[in-house]
Amino acid sequence: MPAEPRRIITIDGPAGAGKTSVSRRAAGALSVAYLDTGAMFRALAVRLGRGGHELPEPAIDAALAAMAFSLDGSGSDTRLLVDGEPLPESARTEDVGSMASKLAVLPVVRARLKLAQQALGRTTDLLAEGRDMGTAVFPDAPCKFFLDASAEVRAARRVGQLAALGRPADYEAILTAIRSRDDQDRNRAEAPLRPAPDARIIDTSDMTEDAVVAAIVAAARGASRHA
């Protein structure tokens, strides 16, 4: 008998829309594992180093083929491991995000990571967060969200997060970096950032994180009751 399909919830949206903390908390409340797919692109960026997107395609393909992705833990404590190791905090910077975004344009990268993401989705119920979860990777997921917020709100949030870590940040520089990453993510040929036709769009600009988590958890519970 074929295995029961796993329950998949998708959350997509631009950089700084609050996806990561919201997704982690919602995964905990819904008792599903959490997959941060941006971390997979960031891990590749770290592995290849600056200018990695300019390497010959076979070199990028070989690096990807050698990376083993797995999930450890469950709910809000789920960790993505690459070759058994979590992503270092140093990979969370806007600089590594921009390197990841340049790699994310390449079809070889998208194809390999999509297969890895779908393979993880066969191992466990999952809340998958990224840019193309609802459109390209899990198009049949019964419950999809797209989180958005203005670039100004997203930049201000990033500055606040960095300040909380004791790292002063320049609002204008972060706004420019966010706008350029948006441009790159929205305008690439393959799997551009956009809501799936059946995604619920949540503008988080004027919402607290608690309110966004509550909206997602309520809608996901409702969807599974009606599935």
Which residues in this chain contact ligand C5P in the complex, by CB under 6 A? 15, 37-38, 41-42, 97, 100-101, 104, 130-132, 181, 185
For residue 87, the minimal CB distance to ligand C5P (Å) is 9
Helix (H, G, I), strand (E, B) or coil at 64: helix
Q: Which is nearer to ligand C5P, 28 or 130 (CB)?
A: 130
Q: Which is nearer to ligand C5P, 24 or 42 (CB)?
A: 42
Q: Which residue is nearest to ligand C5P (CB)?
A: 38
For residue 1, the minimal CB distance to ligand C5P (Å) is 32
Integer angstrom CA distances of residue 227 from 127, 143, 187, 222: 16, 10, 34, 9
Q: Which is nearer to ligand C5P, 154 or 200 (CB)?
A: 154
Q: Which amino acid would we find at residue 164?
A: A
For residue 224, the minimal CB distance to ligand C5P (Å) is 23
As a whole number of angstroms, the distance between CA 40 and CA 144 comes to 20
Buried b (16+ CB within 10 A) or exposed e, 88-115: eeebbebebbbbbbbbbbbeebbebbbe
Judge whether 145 and 199 are in contact, CB under 8 Å.
yes
For residue 225, the minimal CB distance to ligand C5P (Å) is 28
